[in-house]
Structure 1
Amino acid sequence: MNALLEVSGISVTFDGFRAINNLSISVAERELRAIIGPNGAGKTTFMDIVTGKTRPDTGRVLWGEMAVNLVGMNEAKIARMGLGRKFQRPTVFEAQTVRDNLLMALKNPRAPFAVLLSRPTAADILRMEEIAVEVGLSAHLHRISGELSHGQKQWLEIGMLLAQEPRLLLVDEPAAGMTPAEREHTTDLLKRMAQTRAVVVVEHDMEFIRRLDCRVTVLHEGRVLAEGSLDHVTANQEVIDVYLGR
């Protein structure tokens, strides 16, 4: 498979601490990838660099068929190029309905007057309803978002990102704080999403990772320690020593 995202030789240091150390990771089109590692391994910094929040000291972040280097671009421009990021804590407009949250997130003109004067078209309504079905919220469209459970808010935020039509979605600890039923739904959702776009999941829960059944990258001290299936990486002695704690 051709790489959609190619992170090559990136390093970044904060106040003398090397958070990322010559890191290289490749993500293919329509790939589901899990990234694991102990606290301080560089998982969040990796996502910050890819999305433009942090600029690396060295290295390149190449995107798409034209291998555009994202280093130096701002976060908004990178997002418009098709990279979406979901943080651990859900951020939705809690005073608005699920329906309105999804409609506001649709990929439409964002100029001030366009936003103020816009009215949803039939195509907008159809796309909003499709996303609601995809994330499992079609029965909750008229509910105020602040009334949703934690898991439902997570799904709504994922839906709002899908409304932007990303080619790559970075998802940070989606299983945190969820009930067993919500975790199962989230697993199914992420696997379905990866059929049409690339999805990278940062997660600590090993059982959740196992249910994703995907390629796993283990980070340690800002570098790739191991890569492969979950069974493969958890059998690696270095991974056992630094992450699994044996």
Structure 2
Amino acid sequence: MTDVVLAPEAPASTRKSTLLELSGVSVSFDGFRAINNLSFQIGEPELRAVIGPNGAGKTTFMDIVTGKTRPDEGHVLWGEKSVNLLKLSESRIAREGIGRKFQKPTVFEAQSVRENLAMALKNPRGPFDVLLYRKTEDGARRIEEIAREIGLADHLPRTAGELSHGQKQWLEIGMLLAQAPRLLLVDEPAAGMTPAEREHTTDLLKRLARRHAVVVVEHDMEFVRRLDCKVTVLHEGSVLAEGSLDHVTSNQQVIDVYLGR
């Protein structure tokens, strides 16, 4: 395994308290080691970009954090009490405050933007609660706040299927926010967006990272540069390099296995 090359350590005053920690995590599928002794930490709040070639382990990393995949070995600890996520179900992990947005938006296209956000609100909600959400003052206020945050305040009555690709991405991020997450895992948010949508998405993620931990998996280096955050480079299931984008892109190993392709 190649040596991990790290940027200079940040001053103590700028460090974040650790929210999620993976240590010594490995998992194999049919003899192929998708994750190999992976260690990773993110604080709260913090914005992190994760990059790497296809097959580097980015998706499997997110699968492990959300409970979809169980590693063969290692530890995944969460929060101030170091909760062992490997003992929790996917639904329990989501309730702990970990939200994931996949690359392809998964919104309810036949429902309005308002209804999509209402269905996602974090609270015990039966079917009649969802139907009557307009009569819930706190819920209605929260929906308005989220819609303003994601830039869809003027689109609340619209059917989600009428939205542009970028707007659907923002709506899905809003649906995650409705669940009151502490960590958001966002997969390739810039894919398929117009330049204006990409700029809006950059600004949105940077704002969210002032209050949440946000991990963005992305291939677009220009988009990553605009995020202006710490970057983790994965290769063959391990961390190859970490630091600023300039730091990791000047690393010869990163150039050889990823940027030079």
1:109–1:115 CA contact under 8 A, matched in 2: no
1:41-91 superposed Cα distances (whole Å, 9 cap, x missing partner): 000000000000000000011000000010132110000000000000000
Corresponding residue for 1:179? Answer: 194
Matches of 1:191 and 1:16, distance apart in 2: 39
Other-structure match for 2:251: 236
For 1:196-228, what per-residue CA distance to the aligned partner results, in whole angstroms no more than 9, with x for missing partners? 110000000000000000000000000000000
Question: 1:145-224, aligned counterparts within 5 Å?
Answer: 145-224=160-239
Gaps of 5+ in 1: none
Q: Residue 99 of structure 2: SS of its match in structure 1?
A: strand
Alpha-carbon offset, residue 110 of structure 1: 3.7
Q: Which amino acid aligns with 2:60?
A: T
| Matched letter for residue 143 of structure 2 | M
RMSD: 1.3
Extract unaligned runs of 5+ from structure 2: 1-15
Give 1:111 shift: 5.0
Give the CA deviation at 1:116.
Answer: 6.5
Partner SS state of residue 95, structure 1: coil
Deviations 1:159-211 (A, max 9, x none): 00000000000000000000000000000000000001100000000000000
- Partners of 1:2 and 1:185 in 2: CA distance: 28
Shift in Å, 1:117:
6.9
* Alpha-carbon contact 1:135-1:158 (below 8 Å) kept: yes
CA distance in 1, matches of 2:28, 2:73: 10
Relative distance call for 1:88 and 1:220 in structure 2 (3 A) is: same
Match of 1:102 in 2: 117
CA distance in 1, matches of 2:129, 2:91: 18
Provide the identity percentage. 78
Q: How many residues align?
A: 246
Give the TM-score of the pair, scaled to structure 1: 0.97
